[in-house]
Structures are given as structure tokens and as C-alpha cells.
Amino acid sequence: MLRGVCRDCETRISWQYPALELLTGILFGLVGQYFFDLSFVSSMRETVWLFITVSCLLVIGAYDIRFMEIPMEVLVSSTIATLVFLLSEFFLSQGAFFDSRLWFGLLGALIVGGFFFLLVWMSHETWMGWGDVWLGALAGLIVGLPLALPMLTLSFGIGSIVGIFLMFLKKKGMKSQVPFAPFLTSGVLVTLFFAHIFPVFSLFVIG
């Protein structure tokens, strides 16, 4: 009805707003479909955590596309929410620490964050920035081991495909900077849903 412009100032509305809102709705629906179960209190905690995680990852990815910068406030908020969730899962499950999601999440954060740290350090921030290091640690914390490894593969794979496509359209060149956060957040989301919808995926990775 507004024909793509603001009702008051008639400024054109960017396609990014409805696209991001639609994607958020779809992902929230998938969270409810595959993670929420009224029969289990733990699924309610996980659902709330995933709502926060999905929201933060989408904001981080969209912000990096627009400003080539990672919003640290959102990243810290997502990290705190993830740590609170993993700690609650550990203390309420009363299982062994070295078999807990908290332990494997911390290992994932160390490995992925450390990997990006090496890339930044060796390239003197020409390949990636320090924001990517912290985002990598968060990504590893969210998916944990052993899913951190396929998550990294997915992220770089998505980035390569998009990069080649942009060069084909002559939107980017070989030396052009491309934000990596959208690819990393996409890899995290795909890994989370794929591993839950198809549990055999997790068994394959472990095997």
C-alpha cells in the first residue's frame, strides 16, 4: 500500500528491512518447530536461548554487511546469553563436566577463536579483523565440538560461493574487502538446524 516508501517523509524503504524481518520470522518458526516441546522444561530454556541467538546473529550479519563492522554490544549480549544457557544446562543436568555441552562449547570457542586469531595475526589484519576473532569464539561456543569444524567449512564454503558470484557480476574484485560475519553467522545457523533436524549429521561428524 505504501509502494515501498515511508508514509510521512516518502523516503524509499530499503528492501533489507522486510527481508530481514521475513528471515527472522522463518527462523523463529523453525526454532519452534524443531526445538520447542511443552513436555520438557529444558526445551523451553533452549528455545528462549535460540530466539536470542538467532536475533543477535542476524543483527551481526546485517550490520557487518552495511557498515563492515561487528557490533560488539550485540556480540557480548549473545555471548552472555549463551554462557548462561550452557551453565544452566550443566548445573541442572548434574552430568559430568567433560561430557557437558558447556565443555564442548568452550572447546569450540577456543578452537574457532584461536583459528581466527592466527589468521588475523599472520595477515596483520588484512584477511580478517579482531571482531571476527570474537565472533569466531562465539560461533564455536554456540555449536560446540565436533560441530565447530563443519560449521567452519560451511562458512568458508558459503563465502567462496558468494565471492565468486559477486566477481562474476563484477560487483567485487580479487582485492575487494568482503565482510565475513554474514557467512559465519549463516554457517552457525545452518549447522544448528541441520544437526537437530538430521541427527545422523552429528553422528557422521563424530564418526
Q: What is the pLDDT of residues 150-188, one digit of tens each?
A: 999 999 999 999 888 888 877 776 566 789 999 999 999
Q: How many beta carbons lie within 10 A of that of residue 53, not counting itself?
A: 23
Q: Which residue reads 560441530 in cell numbers?
A: 147
Residue 2 lies in a domain: no
Q: How far apart are CA 147 and CA 87, in angstroms?
A: 19
Q: What is the mean pLDDT of residues 113-136?
A: 93
Residue 123 lies in a domain: yes
Nearest to 163, CA basis, from 185, 188, 180: 180
Residue 199 lies in a domain: no
Residue 135 lies in a domain: yes
Residue 200 lies in a domain: no
Residue 204 lies in a domain: no
Q: By the 8 A CB rule, do 124 and 112 touch? A: no
The DSSP letter of residue 180 is: S
Number of domains in the chain: 1
Domain interval for residue 112: 16-194
Query: What are the cell numbers at 166?
Result: 559477486
Residue 120 lies in a domain: yes
Helices (H), 6-129: 16-34, 41-67, 72-93, 101-123
Q: By the 8 A CB rule, do 61 and 67 touch? A: no
Q: What is the pLDDT of residues 51-108, one digit of tens each?
A: 999 999 999 999 999 999 999 999 999 999 999 999 999 999 888 999 999 999 999 9
Q: How far apart are CA 104 and CA 110, in angstroms?
A: 10
Residue 69 lies in a domain: yes
